[in-house]
Structure 1
Amino acid sequence: MSSVVIDIESVLRAAGVYEQELGPLAIRHVDTLGADQDQFWGDEGIFETEGVQTQVVSFRRNWWQLGVVPRARGALAAGLRVKALSYGLLLAMVALSLQLVRIFHRAEERATRDPLTALPNRRLLLERARQLVSLSNRSGLGFGLCYVDLNGFKPVNDKLGHHAGDAVLLEVAKRLLGALRQSDTVARTGGDEFVILLPLMQGADEARQVIRKLAQALEPPISYRGHQIDIGASFGCALYPTDAENLEALMAVADTRMYEMKAYSKQA
């Protein structure tokens, strides 16, 4: 649900209301049964004035009634003008609504998507993870959460620049998505860290298979302007509810396992 402040004068001007030769104008809500509601714009008392011309405009789930007191001459023509301006107002409101929808979708995408990879960000990841926790609590079906942290990513930025680093992150995102199911979620939570949600994962063997598949996907070098960039990754997976009883603890277990794998790979 959204609340929007509308400059009604600008809307009426865009609808051509002020180009009409009309008298005083007012707008009020009406319900679906036609019962009069509160007037929200215009001079008070217009709807009670003798000879007032009215027209109802339907806009999505709202009904507005326009009322205008025609000038002394041309009452019939004034009635036609009221109908014309009502449809002009409707078109202006539809255009405004479409613009608001586009703005809302752009704002929602910025709030829930990583701007570089277009993957879900941490906010959307947590929302989907909480949904999986609720589903698991109701159905008994578990899920997996896997941390992926790239190895050797910092030297790429240091030696080849941030454009190379961005190209690597985009390729990694593409490979991770290609190695997983459509029902899985791959999120970028910051820097070179990714988090994966794996619905309906029941056991550790299945988790190890997924890790092997992801490692194989990231094994080939990434080509960038004549350079062959080797990027490995450390993984840490945890299963709900086997490894933890809530989401925060589950993420902590996966994060710890990922750092344990990273430390082991440095020693090897």
Structure 2
Amino acid sequence: MSGISRMRLMKLLKTILRGHIVGGAITFLIVITAGEVIVELMRMNQLEQQRIEVVNRLAMMRAGLETEINSTLHLTRGLIAYVAINPDLDSNTFDLLSSEITSVGRNIRNIGLARDNIITHLFPLAGNEAALGLEYEKSPQQWPAIKRAIEMGGTTVAGPVSLVQGGEAFIARTPIYTRSGLGGHLADHKPAYWGLASIVIDIPTLFSTAGVATEKDGIQYALRGRDSLGEKGELIFGDRALFEQDSVLQPVILPNGSWQIGARPVGGWQVNKIWYWAMRLTGWLAALLVGILIAALLRARLINKLLALHDHLTGLPNRRLLEDRFENILARNQRKATKVGVFYIDLDGFKGINDQFGHKVGDGLLLEVAKRLQASTRAYDTVARIGGDEFIVLADEIRDSGGFKQMFDHLLSNLRGDVYVEGHRLELRASVGSALYPDDGDDMDKLLKAADQKMYQHKQHGKVYRMDFNR
């Protein structure tokens, strides 16, 4: 080998070696950067999952507290209604009614009536005799809350208050109004203020029954809103600092007021430090993270593509994918003597369900409708959600009017009846409009417009508009 060749070989080896060093350094930097990014994303994801868990736990505690206190208040409605029409009830009747209420209401310590704001009835009377005859207007500790209840004209929850016999309680007070005068229609008489009904709710029993605690499963809780004043009210239990930190806060809805409950993990929002550093070291050392990153990016692109063509709630095709499938069907059906049917479905009263029960129940109803539509159609038909409570069924290979009518009736019947969502019984009803290609239009926009018009006619007049297939 000549000296020139040897020199060229050494130069080439040095170049290759230098390239490996540079490539290794670049790969090392990429791996470190990718690893740091991934670890940080995972850390953020853990914190987000931790927050979601706290939100869910807090929602369960809030719901339990709302349910327990509102069910307790509900027990006294019968007594209040009875007093409203029998303002001169005697003590025996009051004791009988109150005994029945307290036998069911495990959180109720006692029940009282105050005619003209003077306590006239108490149950149980034993141990509470000194309170009989108390004039609320002369009690500076109680009168402000009582006055507020009278002014609001509805039930208010005051407290916590310390009881003479020990313990703490909430006091729910409800103004009672009777109708003045006798005879004639009840609506002809003006309501007259009779007095107050009050129930003393034992706080430890209420919280225990509702599953409320200051710390539970690694999460600390606090409640504020004394006298139902919400976030403006004083602390009821827990650490006051919880409302000054990055905590999850939710309202506890009460009659004519609210409390606010907060939660955060004991020790704050943080991830496991051992896990965190182990992942960082692994990221620095593992060259395979580059491939993992690429796979993650490809997966993200695929998810974005799928999300662009499908409804995020139901997973059904959206309008864009619906139009693509319509064009594919037209291309196939040019060689067949069949037609294409379009059904436009709109849920009746959906806004009212959302307003009354909340979006969670509304979303549950939409999922049930999507499930029913898929079960009511053939495997090669397309069920799509194009927005809100509007669905489209694209039916391929419509051969005769009988089959089209049968499919219409099947869809309509499956969208009627009772549906249970989140423990609520809902009446499912829908309006459906239909259109055929090419009779009602030669593109998707025209077909949707025709079906939409018939759907609204159905909704407004309660009449099902069916298309004549043979026209």
Normalising by structure 1, we get a TM-score of 0.64
Counterpart AA for 1:205: G
User: Residue 348 of structure 2 contacts residue 430 of structure 2 at CA under 8 Å; is this kept in 1?
Assistant: yes
Given candidates 16, 33, 46, the residue that maps to 1:69 is: 16
Q: Quote the Cα distance in structure 2 between the aligned partners of 1:106 and 1:219.
A: 34
Secondary structure of the corresponding residue to residue 230 of structure 1: strand
Deviation at 1:124, TM superposition (A): 1.1
**3-state DSSP of counterpart to 1:238:** strand
Amino acid across the alignment from 1:161: G
Q: Report the secondary structure of 1:244's partner residue.
A: coil
Q: What is the Cα deviation at residue 257 of structure 1?
A: 1.4
Name the residue aligned to 1:166: 363
**3-state DSSP class of the match of 1:118?**
coil
Which of 224, 227, 233 is the matching residue for 2:424? 227
Within 5 Å, which residues of 2 pair with 1:1-268? 51-52=11-12, 68-70=15-17, 94-265=291-462
Rounded Cα–Cα distance in structure 1 between residues aligned with 2:401 and 2:440: 10
Aligned-partner residue type, residue 333 of structure 2: S
Distance, in Å, in 1 between the alignment partners of 2:294 and 2:432 is: 46
Q: 1:83 to 1:110 in 2, by over 3 A?
A: closer
Cα distance in 1 for residues equivalent to 2:331 and 2:345: 24
Q: Report the residue type matching 1:70 in the other structure.
A: L
Structure 1: unaligned runs, 5 residues or longer = 1-47, 54-66, 72-77
SS in 1 for 2:343: strand
What is the count of residue pairs matched by the alignment? 200
SS in 1 for 2:432: strand
Change (3 A) 1:83 1:105: closer
Superposed CA deviations along residues 191-220 of structure 1, whole A, max 9, x for unmatched, are 110001111113333222112111221223
Q: 1:82 to 1:161 in 2, by over 3 A?
A: closer
In structure 1, C-alpha distance between the alignment counterparts of 2:415 and 2:401, rounded to whole Å: 21
**1:174 positional shift:** 0.8
Q: SS at 2:399's partner residue?
A: coil
Q: 1:169, CA displacement in angstroms?
A: 0.6
Report the Cα offset of residue 52 of structure 1. Answer: 2.6
Structure with bigger gyration radius: 2
In structure 2, the CA distance between the partners of 1:95 and 1:234, relative to structure 1 (3 Å rule), is same
Distance 2:15 2:288 in 1: 19
CA contact (8 A) 1:68 1:82 kept: no
RMSD: 3.2
CA distance in 1, matches of 2:414, 2:9: 76
Contact 1:49 1:69 (8 Å CA) reproduced: no
CA-CA distance at 1:227 after TM superposition: 2.5
Q: Does the 8 Å CA contact 1:145/1:254 hold for their aligned counterparts?
A: yes
Contact 2:435/2:448 (<8 A) preserved? yes
State whether residues 341 and 437 of structure 2, in contact with CA within 8 Å, keep that contact through their aligned partners in structure 1. Answer: yes
> 1:11-41: CA deviations, max 9, x gaps?
xxxxxxxxxxxxxxxxxxxxxxxxxxxxxxx
Q: Using the alignment, how far apart are the partners of 1:108 and 1:235 within structure 2? A: 30
Residue range with higher mean Cα deviation, 200-209 or 110-119: 200-209
Q: Distance in 2 between matches of 1:165 and 1:189?
A: 16
Q: Provide the C-alpha distance between the structure 2 equivalents of 1:218 and 1:150, rounded to a whole number of angstroms.
A: 9
Change (3 A) 1:51 1:221: same
